[in-house]
Structure 1
């Protein structure tokens, strides 16, 4: 798997805190140094909103992986870790899937996992994980906020994504956030700081 193809052009961030998980994704889609779209959706709620997932990488490849992950999630009766391991095994061993250039970030209120085509299923030590070009910026900001504030998972995700958007040219301020369990009866929060000129 070519790392540049997987990382280039997005930011997906997951934050776990106090029995709740938030996954945030920016909306920018780029081809090289050209912005093609500002408000794409790169995150989804699965299993009736109990599991959240986001992707970085090629969109068609990621959608194929979402479908495969959902199949494994159903087979595993909603067991996130088992579904993630089974997807990673299939992804690594299947000739067609091995060519897919994407990464997934999946979570439920108890765990947060990064899945790659190299067969990796990585659970962070501190409840923060990020993928994509702006991932390191978002993760660093989220870790600082997690350690030094009492902000909720969704609040941390939003603030950290704003930091990433300020620093990474492949990340914009059109952020979508999903939480599990949902906050205030809703499961989607969209924020856009861009103003028409």
Structure 2
């Protein structure tokens, strides 16, 4: 927030967990403007690339949708090559004057790999196969790391429980989840 009259948009937690040959991604539904909840059932996790890729976004909604469209175009150009599509998107994001102004982050995953994409040109693959972004991302990440070794929990159970923990801690995260799995 840069001025006293400006209000900041908040309200995204995205978590992606890979375990036992499965990947699950969850996003909460809350969108807040300042201290006001504007919407409680936003859909921030989607299937793209013909359903083979999960994508979750945090940041300005219009910016995130622009990036989702661009990533889909890259996936059409480089089918079944998620890493290549992400790198090509990151290059565009860093070098294109319009895209450089976009304020969003993305978590993406296919059946084999998970990545975090940022406007700084980062395409990061976490070593522990857990990606978390957004205002409650650190809470969800910590919870998922604590749960990952529990044998009775699969990837979906971990994202659901970790997101519930994040929703209990972060005022910008709610428990109305969209969960997608591969």
Q: Same fold (TM over 0.5)?
A: yes
The answer to whether the 8 Å contact 2:9/2:34 transfers is no
Matches within 5 A, 1:65-84: 65-84=67-86
Distance in 2, matches of 1:102 and 1:114, equals 11
Unaligned runs of 5+ in 2: none
Give the drift of 1:111: 0.8
Residue 15 of structure 2: SS of its match in structure 1?
strand
Number of the residue aligned with 1:189: none
Deviations 1:93-128 (A, max 9, x none): 000000000000000121110000100001111111
Unaligned runs of 5+ in 1: 181-197
Matches within 5 A, 1:60-139: 60-139=62-141
Q: Which moved more, 1:148-157 or 1:24-33?
A: 148-157
Out of 17, 39, 45, the position equivalent to 1:15 is 17
Counting matched residue pairs gives 177
CA 1:112–1:161 in 2, change beyond 3 Å: closer, same or farther?
same
Matches within 5 A, 1:34-49: 34-49=36-51
TM-score with structure 2 setting the length: 0.93
Distance in 1, matches of 2:63 and 2:33, equals 15
Distance in 2, matches of 1:31 and 1:87, equals 29
Distance in 1, matches of 2:129 and 2:8, equals 22
Distance in 1, matches of 2:33 and 2:139, equals 21
The answer to whether the 8 Å contact 1:105/1:113 transfers is yes
TM-score with structure 1 setting the length: 0.86
Give the drift of 1:149: 3.5
Give the drift of 1:73: 0.8
Distance in 1, matches of 2:45 and 2:112, equals 18
Runs of 4+ in 1 over 4 A off after TM superposition: none
Out of 55, 58, 61, the position equivalent to 1:56 is 58
